[in-house]
Amino acid sequence: VTEDMIRKRSEHNEGIISTLEELSLHQQDIERIEWLDKWCRDLKILYLQSNLIPKIENISRLKKLEYLNLALNNIEKIENLQGCESLKKLDLTVNFVIQLTDIESLRELYNLEQLFLTGNPCTQYEGYKDYVIATLPQLKKLDGIDIERSERIIALQQLAEIRGDILRQQKIQQFKREREREEELAKLEGKSKQTKGSDWYTHAEKGVVITELGSDEEDEKIGQEGNKDDDEEEDKKFWEEATAYTPESRIAVHEHMKKTRERDEKKDEKPAKEPRKLFNEQGDALNVNQAKVDFSFIEDVENQSWLLDVAIFRHMDTSLCDVDVQTRYVRVTIKGKILQLALPEEVCPDSSSAKRSQTTGHLLISMPKAHPVIMPKNKTPMSGKPEPTDKAEKSSSRIQKLEVDPSLQKCVQLDNIVREKSCKAPLGTTIHSKIEERANSENFVDDPDVPPLM
């Protein structure tokens, strides 16, 4: 049990372990209970099932503990629970408890209402149930079954006789357990020796010895094939072998499964990729698009600079992007992936700028040229004709002739409009026709005081 393990399992309490009330540490390959009585004094529910715990310890200080689950472990003795005064439910399903008389240490737990001992050797004793319900009068359920009042009265009447039978059966079971432990240990030691010898014989038979092979590749290939066959044969033999259900066998199964899991993970591991090259042997930058993003790279002739537009995701945080502009290349790192472009000419890194659009999220990098070329303000015409220099030529070049439909030339002869032959006045002079004066009226009076009409 480690502090990091407890904090990871206390996410519902915001990672605070001092005020933790419920903790689940099942299937963590725990071999010893420790630190819980110091770090988590307020625990009320504790799950420790499916581990390799051989002994109940370091729990007596948990005064608020109400439910303790130690199912599927290697516990052989019920002990060190006298201090858990608030304990209401104790689950010891599928363990290796032999001494049933150990439950007498639970008499002081007045709040204990449920006890589970299913799957333990002690449940096979004759008079098991009567002894338990008579020894622990506070119990309401045993192995999930309600205890009747009549059953408890009968059990109390026969407690002395039943306890003697339980003690006799315990001694027999303990003797049997000691013999099984010795057999299992001897068997495991012999198997380890046999495995070493058989492995060497198998490898030598298949020619894995380096001195008998010609190349290292053949050694590795033959060794892999031999190991694969040996592993499959070993797994088949292990699972087909009949063994007694003991703590040692459970540990052996756990170690075998762990070894198999590590072997499978090693097979599934992909070979490490070689680091992507960003420069060639001459030191020139290479074009790399590891980020696999769309981009456009254009030249801004008017401002004498190069523009790189990178289509970054709109909702990506800007802190996940990094821009590095050098004289001959530009590099954009997006979430650890690199986009690098080699520049066709040198740029000024100090004068470069990077801006990001707030609407599209695109990243625009502007890189001024280090050696700009001065261009004329007037752009050259698209046609191949030279631009006229004289003002008269420029004005004449702007004149556009009016195109007339040839079919209309018969009606209106614009080119044949000439002056009448009878008119002999020179060109440029105005011809005035004579105007006849009108006769005065009868009542006309010529008054000299009246000024003449202009």
Strand partners, 364: 309, 355
Residue 368: predicted pLDDT: 92
The token pair at 378 is: 């007037």
Of 98, 125, 157, the position where a domain reaches its end is: 157
- Tell me which H or E stretch contains 298: strand 295-300
Of 318, 348, 368, the residue at which a domain comes to its end is 368
DSSP result, 114-136 = EEE-TTSGGGGSTTHHHHHHHH-
In terms of domains, do 18 and 105 share one? Answer: yes
Count of domains forming the chain: 3
Q: How far apart are CA 352 and CA 432, in angstroms?
A: 79
Q: How many CB atoms lie within 10 A of CB 295?
A: 17
Beta strands 67-69 and 45-47 are: parallel
Taking only the tens of pLDDT, the chain with its 454 residues reads 788 888 888 878 777 888 888 998 888 888 888 888 888 888 999 999 989 899 999 888 899 999 999 999 999 999 999 989 999 999 999 999 999 999 999 999 999 999 999 999 999 999 999 999 999 999 999 999 999 999 999 999 999 899 999 999 999 998 988 888 888 777 767 665 544 443 333 333 333 333 333 444 445 444 555 566 677 777 777 777 766 678 888 888 888 888 888 887 777 666 666 777 888 888 888 899 988 899 999 988 888 899 999 998 888 888 889 999 999 999 999 988 999 999 999 999 999 999 998 888 899 999 999 888 776 665 555 544 555 555 555 555 555 555 555 655 555 555 555 555 555 555 555 555 556 667 777 777 777 787 776 5
Q: Is there a contact between 133 and 103 (Cβ–Cβ < 8 Å)?
A: no
Burial of 53 (0-12, 13-18, 19+ CB in 10 A): buried
261 and 294 co-located in one domain:
no
Q: Is residue 454 part of a domain?
A: no
Domain membership of residue 212 as a residue range: 173-268
The dihedrals phi and psi of 113, each to the nearest 5 degrees, come to: -115, -30
My answer on whether 95 and 195 are in the same domain is: no
- Sheet bearing 114-116, strands edge to edge: 22-24, 45-47, 67-69, 89-91, 114-116, 141-142, 145-146
Ramachandran sector of residue 127 (left: φ over 0; alpha: ψ -120 to 50; beta: rest): left
- pLDDT of 272: 66
Q: Where does a domain end: 238, 268, 298?
A: 268
Q: Say how many C-beta atoms besides its own lie within 10 A of residue 191's C-beta.
A: 13
Residues 309, 209 within the same domain:
no
Does 7 fall in a domain?
yes
What integer pLDDT is reported at residue 186 of this predicted model?
78
Whether residues 259 and 145 fall in one domain: no
90: helix, strand or coil: strand
Instruction: Please tell me the distance from the alpha carbon of residue 258 to that of residue 264, in angstroms, as a whole number.
Output: 10
| Domain co-membership, 212 together with 297 | no
Pairing of strands 114-116, 89-91: parallel
123, 215: one domain? no
384 domain-assigned: no
Q: Is residue 431 part of a domain?
A: no
Tell me how far apart the alpha carbons of residues 281 and 262 are, in angstroms, rounded to a whole number.
40
The two three-digit tokens of residue 177, written as one number: 């357990």
Shared domain for 177 and 153, answered yes or no, is: no
Look at residue 68 and give its three-state secondary structure: strand
One domain for residues 39 and 135 = yes
Q: What is the CATH number of the domain that holds 323?
A: 2.60.40.790
Asked if 202 and 303 sit in the same domain, the reply is no
Closest CA to 265 of 274, 273, 275, 257: 257
Are both 247 and 358 inside the same structural domain?
Answer: no
Same domain, 62 and 135: yes
Check if the beta carbon of residue 39 is closer than 8 Å to that of residue 6: yes
CA distance 454 to 441: 20
Q: Is 245 contained in some domain?
A: yes
* DSSP letter string, 2-42: -HHHHHHTTGGGTT--TT--EEE-TTS------SHHHH-TT
Beta strand ranges found along 54-193 (DSSP E): 67-69, 89-91, 114-116, 141-142, 145-146
Whether 427 maps to a domain, the answer reads no
Instruction: Assign residue 92 the CATH number of its domain.
Output: 3.80.10.10
**C-alpha Rg value of the chain to the nearest Å:** 52
Buried b or exposed e, range 318-343, using 16+ CB within 10 angstroms: eeebebebeeebbbbbbeeebbbbeb
Tokens at residue 85, please? 């005064």
CB 120 within 8 A of CB 92: yes
Q: Is residue 239 a part of any domain in this protein? A: yes
> 442 lies in a domain?
no
